[in-house]
C-alpha cells in the first residue's frame, strides 16, 4: 500500500486522492493486523537460513508450512481437521442449545432463576477440566465424553449471556410492547428476541472460543485422531514442526469460525448504534 | 368521554403518589396537566394508559373500565422509545400487526407523509434527530387511531425551536381525527398554546389543585395579551399549588379567587 501512496496519483488532484484513501481504508487497514506476525516470521526464517540458529526446537515457517503440505498430501490433515471440527460442532451445538434454553428460562421467569441459577453458578465455579475423569468414567473414552466436555465449556458463557441479556432488556421498550397489547409470545418475538440478539451473538462467539479451547483438552485425554492428537503425537515423537502446524491450523479454524458467526449475524445487527473503535468500517 | 373517579395510587414502597383524582374529559378535548415535579402526573397518566393499576377509584373510557392497556388509548413518553431494530416505517406500523401487509403499508405511508418524514421511511432510529424521532413516536401512537392520546412531557427533551414546531404539528395532527389529548407538561406556554383546559396539580400526595379554562380561539397567538393573561392565571395557580401553607381550595374557587 505504501507504493500507492508514493505514486504520483496520490499527490495529483483531489478525486484521485480520495479514491486512493478509500482503497487505503478498505484494504490496508485490515492488512495492518498481519504486519507484526509476518515480520516476526520472516525474521525467524532469515535467522535460521543465515545459520544463527539451527531451528530444531523452533522450526522456521517454511518447515512448518512444508509439514502442513505433507500432512495435506497424505490425507492425514483432512482426517484430523474433520474429526476436530465435528467434535467442536457437536459440542458447540449441544452447549448452545442447553445454554440458550436454560438461560432464557432463567432470564424470563424469576422463579426459575431463583431455582436454577445458584446451582448453575456453583457448577460454573468448578474448572471444567475437572470433569474430565468423571466424564471418562461415565461416558467412556471415545467421542461422547469429548463432546460432553466441549459442550460444558460452551454452555456457561451462552447461559450467562442469554440470561444477562434478557434481564437487561430496557423496561421502557417493553412498555411500548405492552402499550400495543402484545401477547406473551408476540412480546418475546417482537421485543425480547431482537433486543437480546447483540448480546447473544457475543455469547455465541465467546462460547465458540471456549469450544476450541476445550477440544484440545478433550483430545489430550486419549484420542487417535484430531488436531489435539497431532499436538500430543508431535510432542511424544519430538516433532516441533508438527506441533506448530497443528497450532497454526487451530488458529486458522478458530478465526474462520468466529468470522463466520460475525458475518452471518451482521445483517441482523445493522441497526445497532454502538461505539465502533477505530472508525466505521 | 374519559372519566376518572377518585383515582388514587399508593406505590408498594408506601409513597402516596396520587389521591382521589376526579375528572371528566369529553371526547376530543385537549387537557394539559401541569404541576411541580413529583406531584403524580406520570403516575396518573400511567394509570390511564393501563400500564400501572390505580390503587383506588376507576378510570373509564366510554364506560369501559381501564385496568390494562386498551386499543382506544395511546401514549407518548418523554423519550421516543422507538425500537432500534426496526426502521422508521416499521416502527410506525408496529401497532398495526393485525392488518394485512398492503393496508399496513398504505397507512404507514400516509402517516409518514403526514409527519413529513417520507424520505426517512427506511432510516434507522439512530439516524434521526430528537425532533424527528419524536415525530415518529407521535405517528406510531396515532396510526391505530386511538380515542385518547396521552402525552407525558413529550417535548421537554427538545430545543425551543423544535418544541414549538412539534406543538403546532401536534395540533395539526389532532385536527385530523380529534382524539382526546391529555398532555403532561411543565411548560406553561405549551399548556396554554395547546389545551382547552389546564389542570394544576399539587404534591404530597398528588391531587388536583386548580382548573383553568383557556377559552382562546385557535390558532393561538403566543404574543397576544389574551394569551398572556391566561398564562398569568396558570402561573399564579402553579405558584399557589407549591405553597404548602395554603389550604386546598375547591378547584373552581382557586381560579375564581384570582380572576
Ligand atoms: N414506581 C414507583 N415506585 C415508587 N414510587 C414512585 C414510583 N414512581 C413514582 N413514584 C413516586 O411517586 C411520586 C409521583 O411521581 P410521578 O408521578 O413520577 O411525578 P411527576 O410525573 O409529577 O413528576 C413521586 O414522589 C415519586 O417518587
Ligand atoms: Mg413525570
* DSSP string of chain A, one letter each residue: -HHHHHSHHHHS-HHHHHHHHHHIIIIIHHHHTTHHHHHHHHHHHHHHHTTS---SSS--HHHHHHHHHHHHHTTHHHHHHHHHHHHHHHHHHHHHHHHHHHHHHHHH-HHHHHHHHHHHHHHHTS-GGGGHHHHHHHH-SSHHHHHHHHHHHHHHHHHHHHHHHHHTS-HHHHHHHHHTT--HHHHIIIIIHHHHHHHHHHHHHHHHHHHHHHHHHHHHTT-SSSHHHHHHHHHHTT-HHHHHHHHHHHHHHHHHHHHHHHHHHGGGGTT-----TT---
CB contact under 8 A, B49 and A179: yes
* pLDDT of res. A21: 65
List chain B residues with CB under 8 Å of A178: 51, 69
Q: Model confidence over B188-232: pLDDT tens digits?
A: 999 999 999 999 998 888 888 889 898 888 888 888 988 898 999
Average pLDDT over residues B20-36: 92
CB contact under 8 A, B124 and A195: no
User: Is residue A192 less than 8 Å (CB to CB) from chain B?
Assistant: no
Cβ neighbours, 10 Å, residue B245: 4
Q: Is the CB of B42 under 6 A from ligand 1?
A: yes
Written as nine digits, the cell of A127 is: 474448572
C-alpha B9/C-alpha B207 separation (Å) is 11
Neighbour order of strands in the sheet with B207-213: B73-76, B148-152, B180-185, B30-35, B197-202, B207-213
Q: Find the CB nearest B124 among A180, A191, A271.
A: A271
Q: Where are the domains of chain A?
A: 75-269
CB contact under 8 A, B124 and A173: no
For residue A268, the distance in angstroms to the closest alpha carbon of chain B comes to 9
Q: Find the CB nearest B94 among A180, A270, A272.
A: A180
Q: Find the CB nearest A273 among B49, B70, B126.
A: B126
Q: Is the CB of B202 under 6 A from ligand 1?
A: no
Beta bridge partners of B151: B76, B183
Task: Determine contact, residues B142/B173, Cβ cutoff 8 Å.
Answer: yes
For residue A8, the distance in angstroms to the closest alpha carbon of chain B comes to 38
Beta bridge partners of B207: B202
For residue B84, the distance in angstroms to the closest alpha carbon of chain A comes to 6
Q: Where are the domains of chain B?
A: 1-22+54-62+195-207+242-259, 79-146
Question: pTM here?
Answer: 0.79
User: Is residue A270 less than 8 Å (CB to CB) from chain B?
Assistant: yes
List chain A residues with CB under 8 Å of B85: 194-195, 197, 271
Written as nine digits, the cell of A140 is: 467412556
What does chain A come to in residues? 281
**Ligand nearest the Cα atom of residue B153:** 2
* pLDDT of res. B69: 92
For ligand 2, a single-atom ion, the residues with CB < 5 A are B 42
**Ligand nearest the Cα atom of residue B35:** 1
C-alpha A261/C-alpha B155 separation (Å) is 41
User: Is residue A58 less than 8 Å (CB to CB) from chain B?
Assistant: no
Average pLDDT over residues B96-113: 91
Which residue matches cell numbers 417535548?
Answer: B155
Q: CA nearest A176 in B: which residue?
A: B81
Q: Is the CB of B40 under 6 A from ligand 1?
A: yes
Written as nine digits, the cell of A88 is: 467442536
User: Is residue A164 less than 8 Å (CB to CB) from chain B?
Assistant: no
Q: Kindly give the number of the ligand 1 atom that is closest to the alpha carbon of B45.
A: 17
C-alpha B124/C-alpha B227 separation (Å) is 40
Average pLDDT over residues B130-153: 93
Task: Determine contact, residues B49/B77, Cβ cutoff 8 Å.
Answer: no
Q: CA nearest A269 in B: which residue?
A: B85
C-alpha B42/C-alpha B34 separation (Å) is 11
Contacts with B117 (C-beta within 8 Å, 6 or more apart), sequence order: B88, B132, B135, B136, B139
Q: Is the CB of B114 under 6 A from ligand 1?
A: no
- DSSP secondary structure letters along A190-207: IIIHHHHHHHHHHHHHHH
User: Is residue A181 less than 8 Å (CB to CB) from chain B?
Assistant: yes
Per-residue pLDDT in tens (0 to 9) along chain A, 281 residues = 334 444 444 444 445 555 556 666 677 777 888 888 889 989 988 988 888 877 778 888 888 899 999 988 998 889 999 999 999 999 999 999 999 999 999 998 989 999 999 999 999 898 878 888 888 889 888 889 899 999 999 999 999 999 999 999 999 999 999 999 998 889 999 999 999 999 999 999 999 999 999 999 888 877 788 999 999 998 888 888 899 999 999 999 999 999 999 889 888 888 886 655 544 44
Written as nine digits, the cell of B218 is: 385557535
Written as nine digits, the cell of B41 is: 402526573
C-alpha B144/C-alpha A255 separation (Å) is 48
Gyration radius (Cα) of chain B, Å: 19
C-alpha A170/C-alpha A159 separation (Å) is 20
C-alpha B7/C-alpha B73 separation (Å) is 17
Task: Determine contact, residues A195/A177, Cβ cutoff 8 Å.
Answer: no
Q: Model confidence over B86-103: pLDDT tens digits?
A: 999 999 999 998 889 999
C-alpha B169/C-alpha B116 separation (Å) is 10
For residue B4, the distance in angstroms to the closest alpha carbon of chain A comes to 19
Ligand 1 pocket: which of B40, B45, B209 to mutate (most atoms <8 Å of CB)? B40
Query: What is the distance in A from the centroid of ligand 1 to the CA of B45?
Result: 11
Determine the Cα angle at B174 with ends B171 and B178, to 5°.
140
User: Is residue B84 less than 8 Å (CB to CB) from chain A?
Assistant: yes
Tell me which of 1.25.10.10, 3.40.50.460, 3.30.1050.10, 1.10.3720.10 is the CATH number of domain A75-269.
Answer: 1.10.3720.10
Task: Determine contact, residues B56/B7, Cβ cutoff 8 Å.
Answer: yes
Nearest CA to ligand 1 atom 8: B43
Q: Tell me if residue B222 falls in helix, strand or coil.
A: coil
* pLDDT of res. A23: 67
Amino acid at each position: 500500500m505504501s507504493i500507492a501512496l508514493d505514486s504520483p496519483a496520490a499527490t495529483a488532484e483531489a478525486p484521485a486522492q480520495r479514491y486512493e484513501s478509500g482503497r487505503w481504508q478498505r484494504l490496508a487497514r485490515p492488512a495492518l493486523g498481519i504486519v507484526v506476525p509476518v515480520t516476526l516470521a520472516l525474521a525467524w526464517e532469515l535467522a535460521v537460513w543465515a545459520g544463527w540458529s539451527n531451528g530444531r526446537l523452533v522450526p522456521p515457517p517454511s518447515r512448518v508450512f512444508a509439514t502442513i503440505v505433507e500432512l495435506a498430501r497424505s490425507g492425514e490433515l483432512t482426517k484430523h481437521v474433520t474429526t476436530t471440527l465435528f467434535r467442536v460442532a457437536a459440542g458447540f451445538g449441544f452447549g448452545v442449545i442447553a445454554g440458550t434454553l436454560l438461560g432464557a428460562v432463567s432470564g424470563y421467569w424469576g422463579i426459575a432463576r431463583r431455582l436454577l441459577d445458584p446451582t448453575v453458578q456453583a457448577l460454573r465455579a468448578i474448572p471444567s477440566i475437572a470433569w474430565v475423569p468423571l466424564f471418562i468414567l461415565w461416558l467412556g473414552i471415545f467421542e461422547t465424553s469429548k463432546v460432553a466436555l466441549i459442550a460444558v465449556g460452551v454452555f456457561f458463557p451462552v447461559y450467562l449471556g442469554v440470561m444477562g441479556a434478557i434481564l437487561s432488556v430496557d423496561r421502557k421498550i417493553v412498555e411500548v410492547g405492552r402499550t400495543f397489547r402484545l401477547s406473551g409470545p408476540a412480546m418475546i418475538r417482537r421485543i425480547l428476541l431482537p433486543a437480546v440478539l447483540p448480546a447473544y451473538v457475543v455469547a455465541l462467539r465467546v462460547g465458540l472460543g471456549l469450544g476450541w479451547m476445550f477440544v484440545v483438552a478433550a483430545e489430550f485425554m486419549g484420542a487417535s485422531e484430531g488436531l489435539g492428537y497431532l499436538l500430543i503425537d508431535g510432542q511424544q515423537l519430538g516433532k516441533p514442526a508438527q506441533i506448530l502446524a497443528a497450532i497454526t491450523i487451530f488458529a486458522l479454524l478458530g478465526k474462520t469460525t468466529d468470522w463466520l458467526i460475525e458475518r452471518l449475524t451482521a445483517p441482523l445487527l445493522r441497526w445497532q448504534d454502538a461505539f465502533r473503535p477505530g472508525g466505521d468500517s | 368521554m374519559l372519566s376518572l373517579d377518585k383515582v388514587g395510587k399508593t406505590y408498594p414502597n408506601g409513597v402516596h403518589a396520587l389521591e382521589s383524582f376526579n375528572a371528566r374529559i369529553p371526547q376530543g378535548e385537549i387537557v394539559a396537566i401541569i404541576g411541580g415535579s413529583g406531584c403524580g402526573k406520570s403516575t396518573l397518566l400511567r394509570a390511564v394508559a393501563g400500564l400501572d393499576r390505580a390503587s383506588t377509584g376507576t378510570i373509564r373510557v366510554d364506560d369501559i373500565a381501564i385496568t390494562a392497556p386498551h386499543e382506544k388509548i395511546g401514549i407518548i413518553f418523554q423519550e421516543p422509545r422507538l425500537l432500534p431494530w426496526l426502521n422508521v416505517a416499521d416502527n410506525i406500523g408496529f401497532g398495526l400487526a393485525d392488518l394485512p401487509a398492503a393496508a399496513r403499508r398504505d397507512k404507514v405511508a400516509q402517516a409518514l407523509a403526514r409527519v413529513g418524514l417520507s424520505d426517512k421511511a427506511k432510516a434507522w432510529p439512530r439516524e434521526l434527530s430528537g425532533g424527528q424521532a419524536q415525530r415518529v413516536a407521535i405517528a406510531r401512537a396515532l396510526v391505530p387511531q386511538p380515542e385518547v392520546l396521552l402525552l407525558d412531557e413529550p417535548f421537554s427533551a427538545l430545543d425551543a425551536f423544535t418544541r414549538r414546531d412539534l406543538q403546532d404539528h401536534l395540533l395539526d395532527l389532532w385536527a385530523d381525527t380529534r382524539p382526546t389529548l391529555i398532555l403532561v407538561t411543565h411548560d406553561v406556554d405549551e399548556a396554554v398554546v395547546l389545551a382547552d383546559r389546564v389542570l394544576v396539580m399539587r404534591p404530597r400526595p398528588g391531587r388536583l389543585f386548580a382548573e383553568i379554562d383557556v377559552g382562546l380561539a385557535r390558532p393561538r397567538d403566543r404574543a397576544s395579551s389574551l394569551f398572556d393573561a391566561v398564562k398569568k392565571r396558570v402561573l399564579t395557580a402553579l405558584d399557589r399549588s407549591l405553597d404548602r401553607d395554603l389550604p386546598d381550595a375547591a378547584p373552581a374557587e382557586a381560579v375564581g379567587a384570582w380572576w
